[in-house]
Amino acid sequence: MEGIGILGIVFLLLVVLVLFSCINVVPQAKAYVVERLGGYQATWGVGVHLKMPIIDRVAKRVILKEQVVDFAPQPVITKDNVTMRIDTVIFFQITDPKLYAYGVENPIVAIENLTATTLRNVIGELELDETLTSRETINTKMRASLDSATDPWGIKVNRVELKNIIPPAAIQDAMEKQMKAEREKRESILRSQGEKESAILVAQGKKEAAILDAEADKAAAILHAEAKKEATIREAEGQAEAILAVQKAKADGIRMLNEAGATKEVIQLKSLDAFEKAADGKATKIIIPSEIQSLAGLAASVKELVKE
């Protein structure tokens, strides 16, 4: 009886273990491919699932997150017969776990070989210079080709990147020399342009200085001419005012004589005095009107009597 009891407990424990083994929890970003008696049964997503004991089994656990694979450098030949080595990085994601499980044996190896052949085909259509300057074009062509080829395997290729392009040592030396020559050429061009711009600036400075000097001379000449003109005008105005003053004095004198009731003889004597002042000892001949010549003689006689 005791033996039967122990066997019952063992059997019960086995049943419990089998039941627990039939409970499967699928975590986030994963999927399980389940087979029943060796044939595909279902694809389990995230959550708790029960399987039939003994006849069901999880054939493949698939990661649904985007994955990255870095392949070793592959030798390729360009269109102009230059051998180089290129390593690639593939970003892919499993979209169909069933196709991924049954589509191809060892999918990663298949993608690596497919990448190598596709890379050789793409690079074979390009020359060396195009290969070095057309990374984006190469990436796009390879991604499209790989995505189309891996679609039956339940794999989507999101991105393809050329990680390194390694040309032969001789090509590298030639490229370095070419780059050095280009740098020296650019340096020479920049130096020449700098000297040219400096010479232009100096010439412009001299030109502007000459223009400023000429404008200064012109302004000085204008100011001198205006000053001279102003002096001439002022001198003419002074002379005109002097003439006006003399004429006014004469007019006042005549007016005063008329007001004083001067006789004709007095006026003629005043005229004679005016002629004397006009001569001022400088004139050699003075023409005296006939009507005042007699008075002139009379005045001379009077002067002689006064002297005696």
Residue-wise pLDDT tens digits, 198-208: 889 888 888 88
Res. 306 pLDDT band, cuts 50 70 90: very low
Res. 64 pLDDT band, cuts 50 70 90: very high
Percent pLDDT > 90 in the chain is: 29
Q: What would the two tokens of residue 13 be?
A: 């424990």
Compute how many other C-beta atoms are within 10 angstroms of the C-beta atom of residue 200. 10
Residue-wise pLDDT tens digits, 228-278: 888 888 887 877 777 777 677 766 766 766 666 555 555 555 555 655 554
Between 226 and 143, the higher pLDDT residue: 143
Full-model pTM: 0.54
- Which pLDDT does position 9 carry in this prediction? 78
According to the per-residue pLDDT averaged within each range, which of 91-95, 194-198, 222-226, 252-256 is highest? 91-95
CATH of 67-167, one of 3.40.50.1860, 3.40.50.300, 3.30.365.10, 3.30.479.30: 3.30.479.30
Domain boundaries in the chain? 22-62, 67-167, 169-257, 263-308
Cβ atoms 64, 117 nearer than 8 A: no
Mean pLDDT of 84-107: 92
Which of 40-49, 82-91, 99-108, 221-230 is predicted with the least confidence, judged by mean pLDDT?
221-230
Between 237 and 303, the higher pLDDT residue: 237
